[in-house]
Structure 1
């Protein structure tokens, strides 16, 4: 049996409604899928499945030591005090989760509105010289600090950007003060960044070895940037703990994380090989970007998996809407609904020449709600299965719950596919070629082979 610890009042859980997908899957299939999902969940929690050495994320919400959380809060306060801008330097799982939370929770920090919060910018997530130069131009005249996130310290995009930013810190503030403006989140014992942080006496936080990058949002990877932004990271962990209790301890019949995993699997076997994650609130844009990495990197192996895509409605209804409605019908849609944290009333004179008088007194939230329902009906009627996920509100707790919900559904779904959802062997293919082309020492043979292939046109 699963041993469940922690959890609170179960009011802030993520909920699934599959009503608008039942034309494509039947109750008998769901029942069988739920039984299989429950078995795979047990395998996950017992640490007996593929990649079990990377399942430390399961207990992050309840095992995060108070001393570490306090250190994160203290480090964040120090960075806020000395900086008007903080650059978070990382890529993939060291970038997307933090940005997802910051974008989702922008404007709702728990700290006093009178406190000064630094701008948080991002670097190390591409090799674009134009992007980095624009960042350096923006940092001119600002008191900036850097949070660098890398388990090894050798990820090229992050390492290059960090080297340039560290050089700029030294030039601007001197070597001694530059060291006080850098926080490193890295391996606890090994790696280039670990060694640099040790030698330079940098403030460091450990990246747990049993947690992969895309599952690391609730480690210092995400928690430190959230704390810098004035967010309540304890509430975030509490929300994740509540979702953990529901996702690991609820009976299969009432377990929405398992239900989501099963619905995705059944829709996939019915011929739907693309999942379009959509929302009607722009604050969820980067949640979609993190979600794409989580599911794409976890499932896309051995010729299997659902291709994860995302869209922002109503904006993308004016570009992608036609394809969703009448295209190849190779996709299903998952709509994430969250109540708007603020509202605007629409006031209009009865004789307004723009013809909008019929909307007088309506709120934009009501309009957005009606647009969502109209879209759901249209897509369903057009043959597109639609799943609905409801996030209770825009809060730290709800974000933590959403992260944990998707992680469990992804891991269980991977096991149902018969793959290891915690590795990413295909990611190394481009790196192998890139390092050879860049003439990294030790890649001479590979470089010669690539040059030969390019000469032959393949």
Structure 2
């Protein structure tokens, strides 16, 4: 069975149940009751079962799968247009499961609408000029600046390329609100295929909805396994008991470190390059959910051993405002052995009894020991042990972190589901641009 095992170094966690159990029970009861009554932004709690139990999403699953198979025969590239939670979940999953140099994926997935960098946008458009491509535009409103600009440019390119409205419209897929919004209305007017973003699920909690699932399907990901993993996590993370529910244990541990040890920064550590976008997804989830009212841990991330040669010095001997949460993968997607060299000029023959993944995990263990050492490191470490980086593990891990995040924010006394601070820059930008 897939599960996330937590291990701790330099952490006294025996008192956590005594200190926080009542508070966690109250939070759990609130979340479950509101999810059952469909109050607030809690649709994600039971959504792993929606594709089996909800007629609307049963239909969505069938249509997504059929369209994904159709597009795999017609296109080379799917451009996912979205920002924040509208693209990070799918990108995190695709990179984590398929790796960064996958040669077997039926369609290449690239991303626009997540930046206003003119160089990046022009280069993507140039790359697409001689490619068969489709557009999956993801937005509840259709008016978010970055995706809206990208969609206009991509649509213009597709029109020039195809010069056939029927073909153009068949290559545009809208993932948007069920009943309202500019994109919803445009999809009806132009007869785009469209999928629903549930009303009661915010962007950073939407990875298991069509927002994330459809691009994954086009990429050739086994999405049945994604949902199966999420269902396992939903069941495993349902208990209110800290000593049973690993997501809640993680939430109270990080809160305890923040509250009592002045650990204001959490560093998520992975030893796999293909996990970089998963870390970005995690950063948005926790940063946007917790960073309010002058509260919250700053979520940041590193990829080791790469960043041990840049950030390693600071983590080892710099100021101690942080703790580390380390993801250890037991079985890699692929592995390689170190060959024997008779001359051994590089003096690496002592490593030939190990695979590269073995060496990577030994580096992980050595780094934890160094960073958590009571004398020279003094950095608390939480170790999350994963079996694999496959589809089921992604489904499990994404749900695990969403449940932990909701509880962690509630422990801080902030709303996990709004983001009033994000609107401030938009208002300033619109004023400077002269938007009426």
Q: Under TM normalisation by the shorter chain, which class is it? A: over 0.9
SS at match of 2:46: helix
Alignment deviations for residues 185-206 of structure 1 (CA, whole Å, 9 cap, x no partner): 0011111111111110100001
**1:53 aligned to 2:44?**
no
Residue among 111, 127, 142 paired with 1:153: 142
| Partner in structure 1 of residue 29 of structure 2 | 42
TM-score normalised over the length of structure 2 = 0.94
Residue among 394, 419, 424 paired with 2:414: 419
Match runs of 1:216-255 below 5 Å:
216-249=206-239, 251-255=241-245
Residue among 327, 334, 337 paired with 1:342: 334
| Partner in structure 2 of residue 99 of structure 1 | 91
| Partner in structure 2 of residue 444 of structure 1 | none
Residue among 123, 141, 149 paired with 2:130: 141
**Contact 1:275–1:331, Cα closer than 8 Å, also in 2:** yes
Match runs of 1:253-332 below 5 Å:
253-269=243-259, 270-332=261-323
Shift of 1:342: 1.4
Cα distance in 2 for residues equivalent to 1:21 and 1:63: 41
Shift of 1:29: 3.8
Cα distance in 1 for residues equivalent to 2:407 and 2:380: 21
**1:373 aligned to 2:365?**
yes
Match runs of 1:74-153 below 5 Å:
74-106=66-98, 117-153=106-142
Cα distance in 2 for residues equivalent to 1:34 and 1:312: 33
TM-score normalised over the length of structure 1 = 0.89
Residue among 179, 182, 200 paired with 1:189: 179
- Rate the CA distance shift 1:178–1:322 in 2: closer, same or farther, 3 A: same
**Contact 1:153–1:192, Cα closer than 8 Å, also in 2:** yes
**Contact 1:347–1:361, Cα closer than 8 Å, also in 2:** no
Count the aligned residue pairs: 424
Residue among 392, 398, 422 paired with 1:397: 392
Cα distance in 2 for residues equivalent to 1:161 and 1:63: 31
RMSD: 1.9
Shift of 1:343: 1.1
Residue among 58, 62, 76 paired with 2:49: 62
**Contact 2:333–2:390, Cα closer than 8 Å, also in 1:** no
SS at match of 1:254: coil
| Partner in structure 2 of residue 354 of structure 1 | 346
Cα distance in 2 for residues equivalent to 1:154 and 1:168: 20
SS at match of 1:289: helix
- Rate the CA distance shift 1:48–1:401 in 2: closer, same or farther, 3 A: closer
- Rate the CA distance shift 1:234–1:29 in 2: closer, same or farther, 3 A: closer
Shift of 1:27: 1.9
- Rate the CA distance shift 1:222–1:105 in 2: closer, same or farther, 3 A: same
**Contact 1:21–1:387, Cα closer than 8 Å, also in 2:** no
- Rate the CA distance shift 1:418–1:280 in 2: closer, same or farther, 3 A: same
User: Can you give the 5+ residue segments of structure 1 that lack an aligned partner in the other structure?
Assistant: 1-10, 442-458
Shift of 1:36: 2.1
Shift of 1:250: 6.6
Alignment deviations for residues 124-163 of structure 1 (CA, whole Å, 9 cap, x no partner): 0011110000101111211111000000001000000000
SS at match of 2:195: strand
| Partner in structure 1 of residue 54 of structure 2 | none
| Partner in structure 2 of residue 456 of structure 1 | none
SS at match of 2:80: strand
**Contact 2:28–2:240, Cα closer than 8 Å, also in 1:** no
